[in-house]
Amino acid sequence: MAEFERLPDNDRKASMKTLEGMCTCPLCPTYTECARTKSELLYCFEGKSPSCITKPVKCICPTCPVEVDYAIKNMFYCIEGSEADKRKRRAERQKQKMMQNA
């Protein structure tokens, strides 16, 4: 993920197009018709759905080739946010916990 974020904009955009072709979001039971209409994909990179997906049904993220190729390991990105967002929140929680224990 960190390597991906360091790519120049043009390379990142080209990579995102490739990843869109691998994305399994449209096959997920949580994916909605609204998300399909708005062509929402790659929640693991782009973050949660702005308004189309609001409740979890079932998550297939662990079976997605994008998740496997980029060694990301969370679930329900469409509702909870991107891998980067989740890692940032986790780091902040750990930092707060360490400060409380100090």
Please give the C-alpha separations between residue 27 and each of 51, 64, 68, in angstroms, as whole numbers. Answer: 19, 10, 16
> Binning pLDDT at 50, 70 and 90, where does residue 12 land?
confident
> What are the tens digits of pLDDT across the range 19-51?
999 999 999 999 999 999 999 999 999 999 999
Residue 42 vs residue 99, higher pLDDT: 42
Q: Which domain holds residue 73?
A: 2-101
Would the pLDDT of 16 be above 80? yes
What is the DSSP code string of the chain? -HHHHTS-HHHHHHHHHHHHHH--GGGSTT--HHHHHTT---HHHH-S-SSS--S-----GGG-HHHHHTT-----HHHH--HHHHHHHHHHHHHHHHHHH-
The total of structural domains in the chain comes to 1
Distance CA 31, CA 21 (A): 16
> What are the tens digits of pLDDT across the range 48-96?
999 999 999 999 999 999 988 888 888 999 999 998 898 899 899 999 9
